[in-house]
Amino acid sequence: MDIEIETKKIMRDAIVKFSESMECDTKETQIRIYSEDSKPKYKILRKYADTVPATELTLKELMLTPKIDMTGKGIKAMLIEPQIKNILVKLSKFEKWNVDDTSVVVVSMDNEGYDLKLVVCRNEKPIKKISFEKLLGT
């Protein structure tokens, strides 16, 4: 399993589905990946702000995994989640920040969600853009 391809697919599918449910454009929907008590967390953002009410999700919910999972999404989530946690830890060490101050926002630059960009944030303030390749070490 290629982690980069799977992660992009998960993020793209989530942005497309959540933008449909919020009745907005995919360019207005983002995913914040952050750490709380050293555990990865996920939120759906609209125009870079928390949705009202704020939507905090697990990776399985982000992946739109059904309760009875015949598709194998739950297994993929178990394989990808440690990678995401390592990403936040690596970024925080590289930048010399606390891991709980570090987050990554996934942004779609097109209406179909294929042109995804990543923004590294500290205390929810954008710092720099980073590629999936660099982030995932591929």
DSSP 8-state assignment for residue 2: -
Q: How many CB atoms lie within 10 A of CB 3?
A: 16
| Composition of the chain by helix, strand, coil, percent to 5 | 40, 35, 25
The yes-or-no verdict on residue 10 having pLDDT over 80 is yes
Portion of the chain with pLDDT greater than 90, in percent: 17
Quote the pLDDT of residue 76.
66
Rounded distance between C-alpha atoms, residue 51 and residue 68, angstroms: 27
**Predicted pLDDT of residue 29:** 92
pTM of the model: 0.83
With a CB cutoff of 8 Å and minimum separation 6, the contacts of 10 are 59, 62, 63, 76, 80
Q: What's the average model confidence in pLDDT over 120-132?
A: 88
